[in-house]
């Protein structure tokens, strides 16, 4: 039986509500564009927000990316277990709270690839940038695909505008959505995104729970709904290893492990939110609140349309046919259980949430472009403007252009994913394939001091080659990890391939690290030779040639995916290539382990904090102080409190201070960071330089709240 698809769902009232909603959201976002005074504000929102504001703004990003469409689809097919991935993010929280989060804040990095340069080398940064850009653009593509699938059932199959007749296609809808999305991210920046997401986070939760309530009411109450669903549909976790399109063990490795680390450690959009909190501790609070409370609620919010749809299809198959296209079930159910106008509101909330995800990702990808492509190229070409303010202005303009280009690439990325049966499987395949090399590299970088540049580059190159081999020979290479999952020949091992990919990337990384002494011996022998440079050029060229051969192998050779001799030859080639890469990087990269790990691994967090401050950390816990402010004519980054106020805060001259508008509901929007200058005698007064007054957008008649940071 084929899948039933729908068009023209909704009334003109719904469309009016949707258009009005979008206009309000865009105006709201544009208003906060005024808080962008530099690229630091455009990308990071100026490291000033309270935890609760970030926690709620993450809801729209998280829920948007783990969207209504894909979870409702799986909920309609499999029940409550569709949202199991919302409740498996806690396992890596210790690593995040006390490893990655303090490192990214204290090392003052602006992007993940920058960490790779500080911790390893510029070449490691280059490879990480390439992989991360692929990851981010792929993520944007998934977001656009979901948006298109959500919007398509609302539109007619074809329409006429100014006498021109055309079909409404998925790619056409996505292109229009991309233009709207691009507009306010380009002109708004991170502060706009945070505040739009904050508003949308609330509305989204309300809309999702409203839909659940309307659905239960339509069915006649919770008891009827509960009794209608078969037991297997109420299980919170899927069946262990079947079917291949949705099984527990594959999804655990794809989402619970690779996805969770990817989301917490590599998703620049999310990381930039944590970097926008006023301190590491506030970042921890935001993350804990989000994972403990918001994600379980979000699981109900995003999945319930599918559960309700299943229940209706059991009692009224003429209203919701059992063969309804899963990716359309959210829209179909929302239309059935809600009245005109309410349906428009729910759809607007859904699409706006998806846009939140996409705009966060576009902003984050633009940050990577500026930090890891644009700026290094300008420095290399010696065209970097030494005047920081003038350069910042240029970069802000480039960031806006980059946002538009990235939006276009995101639309093109949809072409890769649109042939998967559902968005869920497309996302699963994407996560399993792109995250493992980066996940392994960043994870070992943070927690293993012995992990070297040679090892990280070898794990990128060798790991990717082995992943390509796995994709070409799934029956031989991925099958040993399959936990009994049947291989679907159309999309082999969409989820469990994540385990294989993680194992091979980790394996290469660990072997390359443990053989460091051997690599150094080989390199010193080569260096003793008069032709050492030529030998190294040859080794590098050979390794590159083998890698290029792997990338394009399936294009110019017909591979027999069951041939054992072929796989043995390929594996030997990977082994040889990895060895050559390790030797080559050991030869070319100068690496001082002590210098490159201080403040950049979990083993030296205290040192990282000290480096952030620039002097010894003052950890004494003091009080917050409420003060009035006065202007001081100085260019120095110093603020001046009275002796008594500093004593209350347990602060010394040179310590760091955070000052915000005393109205807590602003969540730090009007705030700034600075350093304590020499104290004066006027209690209850702080003297601020002009730049800090502008940065904090402080008002003359408003009190400020000050607290010592460290």
Partner 1 sequence: MPSFFDAWLPFIYLYGVGGIFFFSGIIIIKKSGAINLSKKRNKFWLRVMLFGFFYFVALHFLVNIAALYF
| C-alpha distance from residue 531 to each of 527, 536, 539, 687 (Å) | 8, 9, 12, 65
Question: Is residue 306 at the binding interface for partner 1, with CB under 8 A as the rule?
Answer: no
Question: Is residue 193 at the binding interface for partner 1, with CB under 8 A as the rule?
Answer: no
Q: Give me Rg for the CA atoms of the chain.
A: 27
- Size of the residue set binding partner 1 (CB under 8 A): 42
Q: Which is nearer to partner 1, 41 or 77 (CB)?
A: 77
With CB under 8 A as the contact rule, the residue among 3, 8, 158, 232 that binds partner 1 is 232
CA atoms within 13 Å, Cβ hemisphere of 349: 28
CA angle 285, 619, 704 (to 5 degrees): 65
Q: What is the DSSP letter of 485?
A: P
Q: Which is nearer to partner 1, 166 or 226 (CB)?
A: 226
Q: Which is nearer to partner 1, 151 or 291 (CB)?
A: 291
Measured in whole angstroms, how far is the alpha carbon of residue 191 from the centre of its chain? 17
Question: Is residue 160 at the binding interface for partner 1, with CB under 8 A as the rule?
Answer: no
Among the candidate windows 228-236, 309-317, 554-562, 650-658, which touches partner 1 by CB under 8 A? 228-236
With CB under 8 A as the contact rule, the residue among 235, 589, 685, 705 that binds partner 1 is 235
Judged by phi (left if over 0) then psi (alpha if -120 to 50, else beta), residue 503 lies in: alpha
The minimum distance between CB 492 and partner 1, in angstroms, equals: 22
Compose the 615-654 pattern: x for residues touching partner 1 by CB under 8 A, - for all others.
----x-x---------------------------------
Q: Which is nearer to partner 1, 16 or 292 (CB)?
A: 292
Judged by phi (left if over 0) then psi (alpha if -120 to 50, else beta), residue 648 lies in: alpha
Among the candidate windows 237-245, 303-311, 569-577, 588-596, which touches partner 1 by CB under 8 A? 237-245
d(CA 56, CA 494): 32
The minimum distance between CB 261 and partner 1, in angstroms, equals: 9
Question: Is residue 99 at the binding interface for partner 1, with CB under 8 A as the rule?
Answer: yes
Q: Which is nearer to partner 1, 29 or 256 (CB)?
A: 256
The pair phi, psi for residue 142, each rounded to 5°, is -60, -40
Question: Is residue 258 at the binding interface for partner 1, with CB under 8 A as the rule?
Answer: no
Question: Is residue 292 at the binding interface for partner 1, with CB under 8 A as the rule?
Answer: yes
List the helix and strand counts (H, then E) for the chain: 32, 8
- On whether the CB atoms of residues 409 and 365 are closer than 8 A, the answer is no
With CB under 8 A as the contact rule, the residue among 56, 106, 115, 248 that binds partner 1 is 248
Does 243 sit behind a cis peptide bond, omega within 30 degrees of 0 on the bond before it?
yes
Question: Is residue 36 at the binding interface for partner 1, with CB under 8 A as the rule?
Answer: no
- State the residue for tokens 């990282």: 608
d(CA 24, CA 196): 10
The minimum distance between CB 327 and partner 1, in angstroms, equals: 25
Among the candidate windows 53-61, 91-99, 127-135, 433-441, which touches partner 1 by CB under 8 A? 91-99
Long-range CB pairs of 263-266 (<8 Å, 24+ gap) are 263/89, 264/89, 264/92, 264/93, 264/96, 264/100, 265/92, 265/96, 265/100, 265/112, 265/439, 265/442, 265/443, 266/112, 266/132, 266/135, 266/435, 266/438, 266/439, 266/442
Question: Is residue 314 at the binding interface for partner 1, with CB under 8 A as the rule?
Answer: no
With CB under 8 A as the contact rule, the residue among 13, 107, 169, 281 that binds partner 1 is 281
Contacts with 213 (C-beta within 8 Å, 6 or more apart), sequence order: none
With CB under 8 A as the contact rule, the residue among 5, 90, 514, 684 that binds partner 1 is 90
Q: Which of residues 437-476 bind partner 1 (CB under 8 A)?
A: 447
- On whether the CB atoms of residues 225 and 308 are closer than 8 A, the answer is yes
The minimum distance between CB 286 and partner 1, in angstroms, equals: 13
The minimum distance between CB 602 and partner 1, in angstroms, equals: 4
Binding residues for partner 1, per CB under 8 A? 80, 87-88, 90-95, 97-99, 102, 226, 231-232, 234-240, 248-249, 252, 256-257, 281, 284, 288, 291-292, 296, 447, 601-603, 605-606, 619, 621
């Amino acid at each position: 039986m084929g899948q039933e698809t729908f068009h023209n769902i909704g009334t003109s009232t719904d469309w009016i509500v949707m258009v009005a909603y979008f206009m309000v959201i865009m105006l709201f976002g544009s208003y906060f564009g005024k808080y962008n005074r530099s690229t630091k504000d455009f990308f990071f929102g100026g490291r000033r927000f309270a935890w609760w504001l970030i926690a709620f703004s993450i809801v729209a990003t998280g829920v948007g990316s783990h969207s209504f469409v894909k979870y409702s689809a799986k909920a309609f097919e499999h029940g409550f277990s569709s949202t199991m991935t919302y409740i498996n993010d806690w396992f890596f929280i210790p690593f995040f709270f006390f490893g990655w989060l303090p490192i990214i804040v204290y090392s003052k990095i602006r992007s993940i690839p920058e960490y790779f340069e500080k911790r390893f080398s510029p070449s490691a940064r280059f490879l990480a940038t390439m992989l991360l850009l692929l990851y981010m653009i792929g993520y944007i593509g998934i977001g656009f695909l979901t948006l298109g699938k959500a919007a398509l059932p609302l539109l007619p199959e074809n329409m006429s505008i100014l006498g021109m007749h055309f079909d409404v296609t998925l790619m056409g809808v996505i292109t229009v959505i991309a233009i709207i999305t691009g507009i306010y991210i380009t002109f708004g920046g991170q502060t706009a995104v945070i505040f739009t997401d904050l508003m949308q986070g609330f509305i989204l939760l309300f809309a999702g729970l409203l839909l659940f309530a309307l659905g239960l009411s339509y069915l006649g109450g919770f008891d009827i709904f509960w009794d209608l669903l078969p037991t297997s549909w109420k299980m919170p976790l899927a069946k262990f290893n079947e079917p291949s399109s949705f099984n527990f063990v594959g999804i655990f490795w794809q989402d619970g492990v690779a996805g969770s680390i990817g989301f917490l450690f590599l998703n620049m959009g999310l990381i930039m939110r944590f970097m926008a909190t006023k301190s590491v501790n506030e970042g921890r609070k935001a993350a804990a609140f989000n994972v403990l409370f918001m994600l379980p609620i979000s699981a109900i919010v995003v999945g319930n349309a599918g559960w309700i749809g299943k229940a209706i299809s059991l009692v009224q198959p003429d209203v919701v046919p059992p063969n309804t296209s899963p990716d359309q079930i959210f829209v179909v159910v929302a239309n059935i259980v809600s009245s005109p106008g309410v349906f428009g509101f729910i759809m607007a909330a859904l699409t706006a949430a998806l846009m939140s995800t996409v705009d966060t990702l576009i902003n984050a990808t633009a940050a990577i472009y500026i930090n890891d492509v644009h700026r290094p190229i300008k420095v290399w070409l010696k065209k970097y403007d030494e005047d920081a303010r003038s350069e910042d202005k240029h970069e802000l303009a480039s960031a806006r252009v980059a946002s538009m280009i990235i939006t276009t690439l995101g639309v093109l990325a949809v072409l890769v994913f649109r042939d998967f049966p559902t968005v869920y499987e497309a996302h699963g395949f994407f996560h399993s394939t792109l995250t493992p090399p980066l996940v392994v590299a960043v994870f070992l970088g943070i927690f293993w001091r012995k992990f070297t540049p040679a090892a990280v580059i070898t794990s990128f190159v060798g790991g990717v080659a082995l992943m390509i081999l796995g994709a070409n020979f799934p029956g031989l290479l991925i099958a040993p990890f399959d936990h009994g999952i049947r291989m679907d020949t159309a999309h082999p091992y969409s989820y469990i391939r994540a385990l294989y990919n993680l194992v091979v990337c980790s394996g290469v990384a660990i072997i390359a690290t443990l053989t460091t002494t051997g690599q150094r011996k080989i390199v010193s022998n080569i260096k003793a030779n008069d032709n050492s440079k030529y030998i190294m050029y040859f080794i590098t060229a050979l390794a590159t040639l083998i890698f290029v051969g792997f990338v394009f192998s399936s294009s110019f050779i017909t591979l027999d995916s069951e041939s054992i001799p072929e796989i043995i030859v390929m594996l030997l080639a990977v082994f040889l290539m990895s060895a050559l890469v390790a030797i080559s990087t050991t030869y070319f990269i100068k690496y001082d382990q002590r210098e490159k790990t201080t403040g950049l691994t979990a083993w030296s967090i205290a040192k990282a904090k000290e480096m952030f401050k620039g002097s010894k950390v003052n950890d004494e816990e003091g009080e917050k102080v409420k003060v009035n402010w006065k202007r001081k004519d100085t260019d120095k980054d110093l603020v001046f409190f009275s002796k008594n106020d500093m004593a209350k805060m347990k602060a010394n001259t040179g310590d760091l201070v955070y000052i915000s508008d005393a109205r807590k509901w602003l969540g730090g929007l009007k705030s700034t960071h600075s350093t304590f200058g020499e104290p004066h005698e006027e209690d209850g007064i702080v003297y601020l330089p002009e730049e800090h007054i502008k940065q904090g957008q402080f008002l003359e008649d408003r009190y400020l709240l000050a607290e010592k940071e460290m």
